[in-house]
Amino acid sequence: MDAVQKHHWYFVVLLFLPSLKVAEVQTEGSTVRLEEGMVLPCLCPWNGNLSMVSWTKDPDKSSVAVYHPEHGEHIPNPYTERVEFLKTTHMDGSISMRNVTHQDIGTYHCSVQTFPRGPWTQSIQVEDLDEPPDDSTEEEEEEGSDPPTLGGIRTDTELVAEPDSNLTISCNHEHNGTVYQVVLERIPPGPSGIIGVCKRVNGGGLLKEGDLMQEDYSERGQVSCEDSLDVNLHLTGVQAEDGGLYRCTFSTDAGVRTTTVLLTVSPPGGFSLSVYMMCVYVGAGTAFLILLIVIIILAVNRRKKHRREEYRVKLHPSQRQWRQWQRQ
């Protein structure tokens, strides 16, 4: 009977959470850096008894972890074996998170149910504080040497692809120092978001210190991560929506370095380099074939003329005279 109650207590509590939110007290949120073993604080300042702690994550309020003093913990996927309640005091609902990825960036909400004062909540914003500053704050290059820009963002490399072709976008910028992490992302204008991450981990979980960790969030291609921490995005069947700005961010012991790639997809029916080159090859082949036929015809005619002249020389003088008389 106790096993059945422990199995269902979590769902029963969730049914009453909406009604409990009416009297909840919410404190100002804080910001936490995305890093291995990060701690999301949730220390209720009140005196009393803790009834339950629940953690959710925006935007869909998905459950991260729930703790009940009597029934224990409930940590659903994908946080299983990654989230741990610290419980440093009897009113502490703080959690720590390991094996973090960029999918863990976002807003978290901690709700502490207490007796007799009721619910107390706090919001935590997890951000990647190692991201470089906006390109708009960078110093301008000397006039006459400015690289191409799009929407005020400097581009270091320009790529042109045709619809339905294959293309590889590479983050292999030459840099000084030791590289710890490389992030490939799409940036505005246009769709934005992290595509892939390649980094060295400091241990924890199933990974040993120095192991290579790859995160692939691409929906249109495949991300590969090399031992040199070079990240490549392989696009198969390029589409118009693949065009835009891609940024590679290198976190090194010498600081943060970035390179930006501008991918342009040729419009259907417009200029196509492959079609143009095919026309050039076909035209050159046709011209060569015609020239060869002309050379062969000239060689054959010359040979026939030469053979006729040899035939005349071999004729008897009387026959030559008779032939000449016939022609007259």
Same domain, 230 and 260: yes
Same domain, 54 and 91: yes
Question: Does a structural domain hold residue 122?
Answer: yes
Nearest by Cα to 225 from 182, 261, 186: 182
Predicted local confidence at residue 286, as pLDDT: 92
SS3 7: helix
Same domain, 117 and 157: no
Same domain, 112 and 10: yes
Question: Does a structural domain hold residue 315?
Answer: no
Q: How far apart are CA 65 and CA 57, in angstroms?
A: 10
Question: Does a structural domain hold residue 308?
Answer: no
- Confirm if 192 and 297 have CB atoms less than 8 A apart: no
Give the CATH number of the domain where residue 26 resides: 2.60.40.10
Helix, strand, coil proportions of the chain in percent (round to 5)? 25, 40, 35
**Cα atoms in the Cβ-side hemisphere of radius 13 Å centred on 237:** 2
Question: Does a structural domain hold residue 52?
Answer: yes
Same domain, 151 and 243: yes
Helices (H) and strands (E) in the chain, counts: 3, 20
Same domain, 252 and 281: no
Same domain, 106 and 157: no
Question: Does a structural domain hold residue 58?
Answer: yes
Tokens coding 25: 């007290």
Same domain, 258 and 282: no
Question: Does a structural domain hold residue 322?
Answer: no
Nearest by Cα to 195 from 170, 167, 161: 170
The tens digit of pLDDT for each residue in 184-214 reads 888 876 677 788 888 776 554 444 445 667 7
Predicted local confidence at residue 21, as pLDDT: 41
Q: Phi and psi dihedrals of 214, rounded to 5? A: -120, 135
The one-letter amino acid at 217:
Y
Question: Does a structural domain hold residue 194?
Answer: yes
- Confirm if 38 and 45 have CB atoms less than 8 A apart: no
Q: Which residues neighbour 77 within 8 Å (Cβ) at sequence distance 6 or greater?
A: none
Same domain, 249 and 160: yes
Same domain, 47 and 99: yes
> What Rg value do the Cα atoms of the chain yield, rounded?
37
The one-letter amino acid at 219:
E
Same domain, 40 and 95: yes
Nearest by Cα to 153 from 132, 173, 171: 132
Least confident residue range of 67-81, 116-130, 260-274:
260-274
The tens digit of pLDDT for each residue in 38-89 reads 999 999 999 889 999 999 999 888 999 999 998 899 999 889 889 999 988 8
Question: Does a structural domain hold residue 311?
Answer: no
- Confirm if 101 and 197 have CB atoms less than 8 A apart: yes
Domain region containing 289:
276-302
Same domain, 8 and 121: yes
Predicted local confidence at residue 257, as pLDDT: 78
Least confident residue range of 78-82, 301-305, 324-328:
324-328
Q: How far apart are CA 108 and CA 38, in angstroms?
A: 13
Give the total number of structural domains in the chain.
Answer: 3
**Cα atoms in the Cβ-side hemisphere of radius 13 Å centred on 20:** 21
